[in-house]
Structure 1
Amino acid sequence: MSDKMQNVETILPFGTFLKPLVASSKVLTPSDLKNALARKGIFLSSSNKEETLPLLLTSLLSPKEFEELKEKQKVKEAIPKRKSKNYIYTTDDDLIKIAPKLNKIRMADLKKWELENYEITDINLFSSYESNNNKLQMSYKIIRTDLTKDWFDQVSMHEASIDISLNKNEKSLMISSEHSAEETRELNTLLIKKVASVLKEESVIEDEKGTEIKFGDFTNSSRINFLLNFVDDSLDIGATFTFDEITNIEISLDSEVGETLPEDFKWMEHRVSNMKFEGKALHETDILKDNKYHPSLVISLLKINYKFKTRSNSGECIVEIEFPTKRGQTLPEPHSEFLFKFSNIKCKDKINTKSAKQMLYRTFDIFKEECYKKTTRQFEDKE
């Protein structure tokens, strides 16, 4: 083992060695970098990364300053998260016909790369999957260097993919993004924007903006209704999932409700901002079952246990569904997009675990759409 590896704990990185930390992901925001410089007596009017990054790289950080940046950088990733957008399909052609146009998109043109700490590898161009000409997938990996990790974990690989599926009967096109790191989340966002632009130019979709399920689209009651629809496994048209129980909930009290708070919650006003419940069969508790509580509650996350059965596998899984909340905030922002991830999958046939996992993500994506449609119908009827 080299001396460099042995003494890494005593090395304080600077210059290009510091770049993987300060340039890595959106966890370190432009404000974080600007504030780090301000603490060193370097004040800028702009938070632009192109201005703050070079100054940080030519500065010497103290051990305390380095540790503070590392703490900000720590984030849960690796488990794939999935979200989607929907578009109106405007032709009668199969989706496979547009694949050659989509495969002309160059990921190298999506952004400036000199400020990044990763490279893209193993790009698989758009092609059909499940022997279906109306389902396309592309995938890639990134190799990232991250000084916040232990020495042997500083270089890591993260997978990402884009699925495009067409429901010809409903003239509905869904583009789904699967990412496992902040960098791949950002890349997928840029890639989907470019894909939608190509589809619009080719008159395949009506509007390149698309629609997604966002936190601000709901009232407190309709949002809870949407999340609880995932208990109804009859909405899973593929009959893959069988609901077991809800084991985790994140709830906040809506501070704007004021005098309309149920008497049971009055004591929490101005005292409790966020509550996390862990247990068994939480879907049977009054706080979820009784509609009178729903207008004053904001639920942003549920963890749900299912049993599943596919053509080639079966087992149990845990799905987290959420509207993500930014670091330091109590509630999700109105534009926070719904996403889900399988935090645990136990397959009886361990050989086919990877293919089962891919199938579960795609099937749950369709399940999610049916839950949203049911919520929309329910609250349209009430109006």
Structure 2
Amino acid sequence: MKQEHQHIDKILPFGELIRGFANQSYISKTDLKNFLRIRGIYFNNSEKENLVPCLSTLLLSPSEFDILRDYQNTREDNTKKNTSRLEWNTNKTISETLDNFSFENLIPNEGVNFWFNSEPQISILDNNPNKILINYEIERNDLNKSWYESTNIFKGKIEIEKVSENEIKITKSYTSSESNLVGDNLQKSLLIHFKNNNFVQKDKELIKILFGDFSNEDRIVFFYRLSSNMSSDYFEFKDIINTEFRPDPSISLPDEIDWMNNKSELKLKGNQIHNTFFIRKKKYHKNLQFWEIESSFDFEYSNYKGSCNVIFSFQDFLNSEDKSEFEIAISNFSLHDSTDYTPKEKTEIKNKILDLFEQKKDETYKNFIEYLKGEK
């Protein structure tokens, strides 16, 4: 999330300063159109290249600039989630095991331009001492950026939940490479802490969902279960709209798809992708390494209705291959009657919907593992 310039309360920008501020991706064309309408200025064409020059000719009052600041401050980077599990070896609650946990050494002392902007916070969820949340915020300073971009705040969190007598689940949520790095270091530090205090046996490690856990065929089945076969009381599958894959370089391709030879990355976008012949026909699955599928869903939760795309991905596959970790994220999120909600409210609703998809993903994964065990 963009963080305000430290002296922004003393600044009332105009001209080129307001042009640069308004051109940020965090301020949408709808935001600008609504803002200008308050001033009595109406546009048939609502593209930013028309709206921003008009805005830059105005002298804003402090309260008007506050409106633009609010548009900026409530925009969040897209949240990604991944989960891991760990064998548990104590009768103590998770809350009790964290009494003397230290947050030291989670960020390198040298070579980075970010830091904690406050001490990470540990809290109990739902009055359950076996359901713990650790929230943290990272501040990054880019001295080569413009006055409105130089400081950024990135949020992250770790949720720890006891799911059975001998197992805990750890869910990491992050919004940037910085908060992801801190989240990974926090997980490692928690594991060391648990082992040193005999809450976890010395030979146990975090069990993650990794690309290399699946055969090429099974990975495609898993993706299907997360898309065309996944619905709940709160959301309904519509279509697969994007896939990323490549031919497995260790296996010779059949003649029908030999045009894929020497391709290191392939993408399919559109509608009814799952009916493409080399995806529909199982005989080709052993030849293909899929690492991402994006699907569209309709959702209805509480009083909220809308649609979104969900990205199921081994995000770092091209760099880490078999060690890349599975994660989910929401894109293209929209609410019915969206003008009734502030940007901050939309972000909160989006994260609630992401939590629902994460829960269903976890259930789908467990059922799929049982299916694979049955197959063997």
Instruction: Quickly say closer, same or farther: Cα 1:246–1:360, change in 2 above 3 A.
Output: same
Alignment root-mean-square deviation, CA: 2.9
Structure 2: distance between partners of 1:355 and 1:133: 24
User: What TM-score comes out, normalization by structure 1 length?
Assistant: 0.69
Q: Equivalent pairs: percent with the same residue?
A: 24
Residue pairs, 1:102-121, within 5 angstroms: 104-107=101-104, 109-121=105-117
Query: Does residue 244 in structure 1 map to residue 238 in structure 2?
Result: yes
- 1:193-245 Cα shifts (integer Å, max 9, x gaps): 11122223333334552110111111111111111111255575xx4332121
* Aligned counterpart, 2:300: 309
Structure 1: distance between partners of 2:223 and 2:122: 32
Instruction: Quickly say closer, same or farther: Cα 1:362–1:145, change in 2 above 3 A.
Output: same
* Aligned counterpart, 1:212: 208
Partner amino acid, structure 2, of 1:368:
K
Does the CA contact (< 8 Å) of 2:120 and 2:134 recur in 1?
yes
Query: Does residue 184 in structure 1 map to residue 176 in structure 2?
Result: no
Structure 1: distance between partners of 2:307 and 2:141: 34
* Aligned counterpart, 2:153: 157
Shift of 1:129: 2.0
Structure 2: distance between partners of 1:183 and 1:317: 26
* Aligned counterpart, 1:195: 190
Partner amino acid, structure 2, of 1:154:
S
Shift of 1:130: 3.5
Instruction: Quickly say closer, same or farther: Cα 1:314–1:172, change in 2 above 3 A.
Output: farther
User: Once superposed, which parts of structure 1, at least 4 consecutive aligned residues long, lie more than 6 Å away?
Assistant: none
Does the CA contact (< 8 Å) of 2:155 and 2:175 recur in 1?
yes
Q: 1:268 aligns with which of 243, 246, 260?
A: 260
Structure 2: distance between partners of 1:309 and 1:120: 36
* Aligned counterpart, 1:82: 81
Instruction: Quickly say closer, same or farther: Cα 1:377–1:289, change in 2 above 3 A.
Output: farther
Residue pairs, 1:350-365, within 5 angstroms: 350=341, 352-365=345-358
Q: 1:378 aligns with which of 355, 363, 371?
A: 371
Does the CA contact (< 8 Å) of 1:215 and 1:333 recur in 2?
yes
Shift of 1:304: 1.2
Segment of structure 1 superposing worse, 261-270 or 188-197: 261-270
Aligned residues: 299
Unaligned regions of 5+ residues in structure 2, if any? 1-10, 17-75
Structure 2: distance between partners of 1:131 and 1:245: 39
User: What TM-score comes out, normalization by structure 2 length?
Assistant: 0.71
Residue pairs, 1:130-149, within 5 angstroms: 130-147=126-143, 149=145
Instruction: Quickly say closer, same or farther: Cα 1:195–1:295, change in 2 above 3 A.
Output: same
Shift of 1:83: 1.4
Shift of 1:332: 4.8
Instruction: Quickly say closer, same or farther: Cα 1:204–1:345, change in 2 above 3 A.
Output: farther
Does the CA contact (< 8 Å) of 2:312 and 2:327 recur in 1?
yes
- 1:300-341 Cα shifts (integer Å, max 9, x gaps): 111111222333533222111111246xx5x75111111121
Partner amino acid, structure 2, of 1:341:
A
Segment of structure 1 superposing worse, 308-317 or 179-188: 308-317
Other structure's SS at 1:153 match: coil
Does the CA contact (< 8 Å) of 2:228 and 2:239 recur in 1?
no
Query: Does residue 321 in structure 1 map to residue 318 in structure 2?
Result: no
* Aligned counterpart, 1:63: none
